[in-house]
């Protein structure tokens, strides 16, 4: 593993099709910019199409020969996720890389269109549903990857299966931590199921460390309280910028030697800053029982199931051996 891995180490992405959620700003934008430079075809999956088009314009100014498309996607709306997937599957016959990047952070207690707590519903359930809808294309493409983005805040999170939607008590930080633990549990359980199906698709997780992006300032419904602004200003000097924060997910998405079930983050003190390296798993992410239960609950809540695709993949890969 290269100790100081940067975007210069990303191999050519010619011919590869990539979906990045939340690609219009922050980590998602930096990821799209880096992969567009390496000649991947980028689908910027954005809730706000206008901001998505503006971000695309900026990328095209820097890389006029880049191939970048904006498609609408609201991860807080299961109907929008289904519509996005249908449109993508109708237009594209391959998908090499799905980066589950989009997220919201510490808003007041709000709900998605489908009635889920906003952070759990968007950060985890939205990506669970999206991945399930797109898995068909990913399985068809040898050595495709699914990269799901968590956070160092996952270290304070755990799964509250008796109150997933925080109906009894809502704490914005604990709800955020739960959604980020869910991201890791999902990535790991997905890899176990891919391995069981003998698929070559890899499921990998990453976190950006402490990164100064607009996630902290412009989350959906964020109230921008004085305390919250002061807290962010206090920690701001310790944060790295978005292009550095995007390196772990870019490494997980493109580097040679990445294995399914790996987890990447910055290599500095407390994994806040630095270059990509293997990250430490939060204690709550190590339970396979929790991962299986989360998977079952996620299928019930979203109505999206993976079993038929895994069975088809197992049959297909088994017939090739």
Catalytic residues: 176
| Pairing, β 41-46 against β 67-72 | parallel
* 153 neighbors 111 (Cβ within 8 angstroms): no
| Residue 230 CB contacts under 8 Å (≥ 6 apart), including other chains | none
Q: Where does residue 114 fall: left (phi above 0), alpha (psi -120 to 50 degrees), or beta otherwise?
A: alpha
CA of 176: how far to CAs of 107, 155, 197, 229, in Å?
9, 11, 32, 17
Query: Can you count the helices (H) and strands (E) in the chain?
Result: 12, 10
| Full DSSP string of 236-284 | GGGPEEHHHHTHHHHHHHH-TT--TT-EEEE-SGGGSSSSEEEPPPPGG
Tell me if residue 110 falls in helix, strand or coil: coil
3-class SS of residue 28: helix
Q: How far is C-alpha 20 from the chain's CA centre?
A: 8
Q: Which of 205, 204, 202 is nearest to 139 (CA)?
A: 202
CA dihedral of 290, 296, 297, 298, whole degrees rounded to 10? 100
For 83, the 3-state DSSP assignment is helix
């Amino acid at each position: 593993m290269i100790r100081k891995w940067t975007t210069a180490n990303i191999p050519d992405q010619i011919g590869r099709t990539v979906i990045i959620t939340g690609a219009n700003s922050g980590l998602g934008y930096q990821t799209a910019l880096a992969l567009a430079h390496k000649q991947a075809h980028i689908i910027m999956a954005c809730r706000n199409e206008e901001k998505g088009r503006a971000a695309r314009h900026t990328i095209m100014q820097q890389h006029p020969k880049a191939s970048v498309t904006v498609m609408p996607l609201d991860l807080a709306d299961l109907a929008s996720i289904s519509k996005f997937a249908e449109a993508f599957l109708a237009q594209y016959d391959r998908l090499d890389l799905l980066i589950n990047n989009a997220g919201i952070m510490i808003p007041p207690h709000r709900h998605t269109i489908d009635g889920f707590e906003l952070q759990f519903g968007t950060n985890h359930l939205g990506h669970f549903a999206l991945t399930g809808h797109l898995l068909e294309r990913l399985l068809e493409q040898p050595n495709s990857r699914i990269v799901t983005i968590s956070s160092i805040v996952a270290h304070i999170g755990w799964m509250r299966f008796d109150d997933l939607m925080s109906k009894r008590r809502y704490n914005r930080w604990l709800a955020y931590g739960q959604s980020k633990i869910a991201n890791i549990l999902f990535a790991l359980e997905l890899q176990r199921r891919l391995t069981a199906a003998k698929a070559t698709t890899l499921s990998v997780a990453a976190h950006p460390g402490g990164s100064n992006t607009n996630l902290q300032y412009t989350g959906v419904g964020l109230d921008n309280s004085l305390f919250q602004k002061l807290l962010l200003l206090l920690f701001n000097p310790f944060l790295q910028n978005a292009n550095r924060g995007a390196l772990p997910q870019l490494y997980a998405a493109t580097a040679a030697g990445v294995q399914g079930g790996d987890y990447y983050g910055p290599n500095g003190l407390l994994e806040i800053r630095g270059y990509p390296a293997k990250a430490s798993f939060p204690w709550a992410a190590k339970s396979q029982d929790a991962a299986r239960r989360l998977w079952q609950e996620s299928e019930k809540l979203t109505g999206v199931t993976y079993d038929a695709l895994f069975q088809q993949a197992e049959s297909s890969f088994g017939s090739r051996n």
